[in-house]
Amino acid sequence: MSDHRNHNKTRKDEQLEGYRAYDQGKKMTTNQGQKVSEDEFSLKAGERGPTLMEDFHFREKMTHFDHERIPERIVHARGYAAHGEFQVYDDSMKDYTKADFLTDPNKTTPVFVRFSTVQGSKGSPDTVRDVRGFATKFYTDEGNFDLVGNNIPIFFIQDAMKFPDLVHAVKPEPHNEMPQGGSAHDTFWDFVANNQESAHMAMWAMSDRGIPRSFRMMEGFGVHTFRLVNDKGEAHFVKFHWKPVLGVHSLVWDEAQKLSGKDIDFHRRDLYEAIENGDYPEWELGFQIIREDEEFKFDFDILDPTKVWPEEDVPVKKVGKLTLNRNVDNVFAETEQAAFHPGHVVSGIDFSNDPLLQGRLFSYTDTQISRLGGPNFHELPINRPVCPFHNNQRDAQGRMTINTGQVSYHKNSLADNTPEPASEEEGGYVHYQEKVEGHKIRARSDSFRDHFSQAALFWNSMSDVEKQHIIGGFSFELGKCESTSVQQQVVDMLSNISLDLAQPVAKALGVRVPQEGGSDVTKSSPALSQQNTKFKPDTRKVGVIVGEGFKGSEVNEVLAGLKKEGIHPEVISSRLGTCKASDGPELEVQHTFLTADSLLFDALYVVGGSQTDETFKKKTHDFIKETFSHYKPIGATHEGKSWLEETGLDNYPGVLKGEDPSSFTADFVKAVASHRFWERKVI
């Protein structure tokens, strides 16, 4: 494993170093600095007597422990994060924004990215079907910019006013606190059926996007329309995109469910290990840009957060790269205490009137106050900007700065009227002067009323396999609902999107099958389908089943060939330690049949061994069958070939039997790069 600090140090790293490894090699003291002489026994009146009140060390230690947990995030409680950096390719964004970190290609900006699920609590499994959060904090020289996005480009609702209702509906039901980490229950689907602006997002959540293979293989989206403003004061509407270099990939539903038991930490482990291995995850930052005079050119309202801007109509301009290259040192201090806020912007980035975004601008500070215990959360190391900050805010819980001097107000004469506001030329943030006119009104804009056209666009854009997965997603989630009325309402809603969707779901649920409906939308958008993403062998994990007496030199050649292509083979056998070949070499075993599972790998390579027993073979058969049923590549050589044949699964796409190590390796690498073989038609 490479040292995960082996990368160019950023200013944020230097700042954090000051806080790190503070205790190492030191004598133990109380929090007041008194050296401690004993730390295992409380102070008692006699060895078998009662504990004494005056044991200040015990009381301090226990009091601190009693308060070691803080309220979890109301949504996005389950998350994992890493540090990294961002750099733009060139200065071409100068036409659109004056933000320095988006226009200076010589600048490396430190970032902190937290991925999350939405519904589950902090201890919930990683692979549940859910939307994933993708929140990025850019520590720019001009202040922090937080891009607090998701892995799905739209949202369930159009106005922040409805967010508490949505979250109450999706969270575990209040009377029995079930289910944990999932939306497969009555109240969520009752909300969707009765708030049909959710239809489009429900389609995305039930698609493969709801069960990503890895955080590293997800797109990210700012969701809302923002504004970029250049140094001439001209504005453009924009949407932010993160495009993963490894492509967009997902699990299959059976895998996702079983992983919730086999490895509840599947996604965080994947991210952590990739960074430790030096496989630094990368995304390109992209912008969709619309001129102000084109605001009304589209058949949807660009302020409506339940709509995408189809990439074929508004192309994504890729401007720079994000690389995650360092794991956190302490999950609580960094990941848990990180406070993101869509209102943390820098000059050159501004807001639109999207009513969902406007409401978020209030919510995030408010939520940090109860979660992080007061308004001083910006002073926590993970939240501090790398540039200086000065103002007259003082005191409150958890204040860390010791402000000097007598002046804490503006305007003043005693401190020469400082700190003083900066002019626009000096970098002062000036809000874009959009002209606003209107009646004060609580209403939905007429331009926000079409809830189904883009849901149909999404459906039309899916491959047959993806469509089957969506039908499966709805059938599962609604199948877990107890209310037939809710099931019927959702099916009826789906009939507005496509009868090809609504009818099989209705049949699976045993409710009335709609006979009329469908959409007039015939357009599709290829960019929406994951079939059109990149397919690579890089960083894919291959489980290699090896037993005593295997053919060492040939197997080593295959493993070396896989590694050369960036694939990670990991050896599974009947026990840990080493496994001895018939011709000499030994292989280190990383997993046993007990600790590993086919679910944990992207592909399987069966070698076998001449000195293995029936149990070994039986366990291998189980691996083969499950890998096969998840459409994943299987390769076999030596004894492995006959074991594979015994399962009857050897004559299918993506199942390879090899003789010559070098041609087998080349074919197997190709199979690994294809990821899944849907043609197998597994039921």
Q: Under the rule (CB under 6 A), what is the footprint of ligand HDE?
A: 73-76, 79, 114, 116, 133, 135, 148-150, 155, 160, 163, 223, 338, 340, 356, 359-360, 363-364, 367-368
Give Cβ neighbours of residue 179 (< 8 Å, ≥ 6 apart).
Answer: 172, 185, 480
Complex with ligand HDE: residue 257 or 368, whichever CB lies closer: 368
User: Looking at the DSSP assignment, which residues form a beta bridge with residue 569?
Assistant: 542
* Distance, CA of 86 to CA of 102 (rounded, Å): 9
Closest distance between ligand HDE and the C-beta of residue 135, in Å? Answer: 4
Q: What would the two tokens of residue 184 be?
A: 């497969």
Complex with ligand HDE: residue 304 or 597, whichever CB lies closer: 304
Closest CA relative to residue 185, chosen from 481, 476, 475, 472: 481
Closest distance between ligand HDE and the C-beta of residue 173, in Å? Answer: 20
What are the backbone dihedrals phi and psi of residue 621, each rounded to the nearest 5 degrees, phi first?
Answer: -55, -45
- Render 619-645 in DSSP notation, one character per residue: HHHHHHHHHHHTT--EEE-THHHHHHH
Complex with ligand HDE: residue 180 or 582, whichever CB lies closer: 180
Closest distance between ligand HDE and the C-beta of residue 350, in Å? Answer: 16
Q: What would the two tokens of residue 417 be?
A: 């009227």
Complex with ligand HDE: residue 163 or 300, whichever CB lies closer: 163
Complex with ligand HDE: residue 160 or 457, whichever CB lies closer: 160
- Render 494-562 in DSSP notation, one character per residue: HTTT-HHHHHHHHHHHTSPPP-S---S-----GGG-GGGS----TT-EEEEEE-TTB-HHHHHHHHHHH
Complex with ligand HDE: residue 223 or 671, whichever CB lies closer: 223
Complex with ligand HDE: residue 114 or 129, whichever CB lies closer: 114
Give Cβ neighbours of residue 512 (< 8 Å, ≥ 6 apart).
Answer: 488, 491, 506
Complex with ligand HDE: residue 364 or 652, whichever CB lies closer: 364
* Distance, CA of 251 to CA of 213 (rounded, Å): 5
Closest distance between ligand HDE and the C-beta of residue 300, in Å? Answer: 17
Active-site option among 57, 144, 150, 675: 150
Complex with ligand HDE: residue 217 or 649, whichever CB lies closer: 217
Segments in 18-86 forming alpha helices (H): 56-66
Q: Are 467 and 501 in contact (CB under 8 A)?
A: yes
Active-site option among 76, 200, 224, 341: 76
422-430: long-range contacts, CB 8 A cutoff, minimum separation 24:
427/142, 427/347, 428/347, 429/345, 429/346, 429/347, 430/347
Closest distance between ligand HDE and the C-beta of residue 280, in Å? Answer: 20
CA 366 to chain centre: 23
* Distance, CA of 531 to CA of 292 (rounded, Å): 33
* Distance, CA of 575 to CA of 542 (rounded, Å): 18
Residue entry with tokens 């357009």? 523
Closest distance between ligand HDE and the C-beta of residue 368, in Å? Answer: 6
Closest distance between ligand HDE and the C-beta of residue 434, in Å? Answer: 20
Closest distance between ligand HDE and the C-beta of residue 364, in Å? Answer: 4
CA 259 to chain centre: 16
What are the backbone dihedrals phi and psi of residue 40, each rounded to the nearest 5 degrees, phi first?
Answer: -110, -20
Residue entry with tokens 């390879």? 656
Closest distance between ligand HDE and the C-beta of residue 356, in Å? Answer: 5
Active site residue 150: yes
Rg of the chain taking only CA atoms, in angstroms: 28
The residue at minimum Cβ distance from ligand HDE is: 133
Query: Can you count the helices (H) and strands (E) in the chain?
Result: 16, 18
Q: Which residues are catalytic?
A: 76, 150
